[in-house]
Chains A and B, each alone.
Chain A
Amino acid sequence: TQLLEQSPQFLSIQEGENLTVYCNSSSVFSSLQWYRQEPGEGPVLLVTVVTGGEVKKLKRLTFQFGDARKDSSLHITAAQPGDTGLYLCAGAHRNNNDMRFGAGTRLTVKP
């Protein structure tokens, strides 16, 4: 069973600050996803990265997939209270149908 490690586990910052969270594994993934989950709701997909070295931007969020497709990072610029939530990474092996999640980074952005 592949292991996805996310860091930091908890992060509390002030509105306007920048932050980066990480997702690391010893396994190579065919694709990797980032999800955001708010309290009382299910995770919602933010992005999928497939190609090693790939960078995707979603407004103030920048996602990067490592060259070796073993790790990924999520950078948020000028964080806002609305960014508060649990950020989960998930990796797929073998036909992209074997999905495992990291434990998540719980982000709190204070106004």
Chain B
Amino acid sequence: NAGVMQNPRHLVRRRGQEARLRCSPMKGHSHVYWYRQLPEEGLKFMVYLQKENIIDESGMPKERFSAEFPKEGPSILRIQQVVRGDSAAYFCASSPGTANTGELFFGEGSRLTVL
């Protein structure tokens, strides 16, 4: 499968625990985006990363949330001390980043439930 891979697909955490969501972009893609989606709503931008760099994190909450895209390995969205309001679907998308007309390729999402 050469598509964007996200795992886990479903994650259940209790309040105060940590959640780690992983995203492997499509082969050859160097740009990764994270979006959050609540039920019956659209996609809310969180963060845009290139390898080893955060380009735009204007959509990330200032506390408890962090993201990285290391030189090797998947991009990780980390949520510390989760609260019930963090329950949502988190989507990752990738793009090639060069000579690109803006298309994003999405994974199937990670659904976080905080009890």
Contact = CB atoms under 8 A, between A and B. Distances in A.
Interface of A: 1, 6, 30-33, 35, 40-45, 48, 50, 86, 88, 90-92, 96-104, 106
Contacts, number: 73
8 contacts: A32-B102, A35-B104, A42-B93, A42-B108, A43-B106, A97-B102, A99-B33, A103-B41
B69 interface: no
B109 A98 contact: no
B95 A42 contact: no
Contact of B100 (A40, A42, A96): A96
Interface in B38-55: 40-45, 48, 55
A30 B105 CA distance: 18
B31 A97 contact: yes
B56 interface: yes
A5 B28 CA distance: 32
A74 B71 CA distance: 39
A10 to B, nearest CB: 9
Which of A41, A43, A88 is the most central at the interface, judged by chain B CB atoms within 10 Å of its CB?
A: A43
B102 A102 contact: no
B109 to A, nearest CB: 5
Contact of B105 (A32, A45, A96, A100): A45
